Amino acid sequence: MARKKEAKKETKKTLLKKTKKQQKQTQKSVKFEDKFQPKSIVRVAKTTLDGSKKVKMALTQIKGIGYNLSVTICRYLNIDENKELNKLQQADILNIENLINSPNNKLPVYLLNRRFDYTTGKNMHKYGPDLVMQTREDISRLRRIRAYRGIRHELGLPTRGQRTKNSFRKHSVVGVIKKKAKAGKV
């Protein structure tokens, strides 16, 4: 009888140990999952944005939208700019997209990045892949008409008047070469 009681005590102890080990393992796995869970992602204007950031900072991840424009968008739509992006309602996100797509007559002209467009003559705002394509087309037009800026782009030289004697953004630094001493004379 004593042996049975001891066996029961041992099994209870081992079960308790096993359950404690299992609890620790599950706690570790939960902590691991919390650390590596993907951040909430919000899609706005053809761009995936980090939803855990504030609205004013998250909008700056869209190419063509800077800090000033993002703050102006938030204020125009009466959205709290310090609120996290994933906490916005779907209607607010749609309003942001609509304003980004057609900012004409709603935002000040000085915030637009395509004032008096070359082909249409209108004030527009390009963003995302459209902005990349437009700048590429502008540079190719400058090359085609053989403008000074286009030639500078072709040669890979700075186009805005920087000096090129030492170094500049697009090329490496020019080193100094010392003259070799002539042998024979002391």
- Give 117 or 34, the one with higher predicted confidence: 117
- Give 13 or 154, the one with higher predicted confidence: 154
Whole-angstrom distance, CA of residue 48 vs CA of residue 51? 9
Same domain (yes/no): 65, 86: yes
Same domain (yes/no): 46, 104: yes
Same domain (yes/no): 116, 89: no
pLDDT above 60: residue 117? yes
Strand partners, 50: 41
Question: What total of structural domains would you count in the chain?
Answer: 2
Q: Is residue 168, in this structure, part of any structural domain at all? A: no
Q: Is residue 96, in this structure, part of any structural domain at all? A: yes
User: Exposed (0-12), middle (13-18) or buried (19+): which is 19, by Cβ within 10 Å?
Assistant: exposed
Specify the pLDDT at position 146.
Answer: 94
Specify the pLDDT at position 38.
Answer: 44
pLDDT above 90: residue 6? no
Same domain (yes/no): 118, 103: no
The listed range with the strongest mean pLDDT (7-11, 116-120, 175-179) is 116-120
pLDDT in tens, 44-83: 888 899 888 999 999 999 999 999 999 999 999 999 999 9
Length of the chain in terms of residues written: 186
Q: Copy the structure tokens of residue 170.
A: 């697009």
pLDDT above 90 covers a percentage of the chain that reads: 33
pLDDT above 80: residue 177? no
Same domain (yes/no): 116, 141: yes
Same domain (yes/no): 115, 57: no
Cβ atoms within 10 Å of 112's Cβ, excluding its own: 18
Instruction: Please tell me the least confidently modeled range out of 6-15, 28-37, 96-105, 165-174.
Output: 28-37
Provide the domain limits for residue 118.
Answer: 111-155
Same domain (yes/no): 48, 98: yes
Whole-angstrom distance, CA of residue 4 vs CA of residue 23? 28
Q: What does the pLDDT average to over 105-111?
A: 88
Same domain (yes/no): 86, 134: no
Specify the pLDDT at position 46.
Answer: 86
Q: Is residue 22, in this structure, part of any structural domain at all? A: no
Q: Is residue 122, in this structure, part of any structural domain at all? A: yes
Q: Is residue 53, in this structure, part of any structural domain at all? A: yes
CA-based torsion, 88, 92, 97, 103: positive or negative: negative
Strand partners, 48: 43
Cβ atoms within 10 Å of 184's Cβ, excluding its own: 4
CA-based torsion, 62, 66, 67, 72: positive or negative: negative
pLDDT in tens, 8-46: 666 666 655 666 666 666 565 555 545 544 458 888 888
pLDDT above 50: residue 176? yes
Q: Is residue 180, in this structure, part of any structural domain at all? A: no
77 and 96 in contact (C-beta within 8 Å)? yes
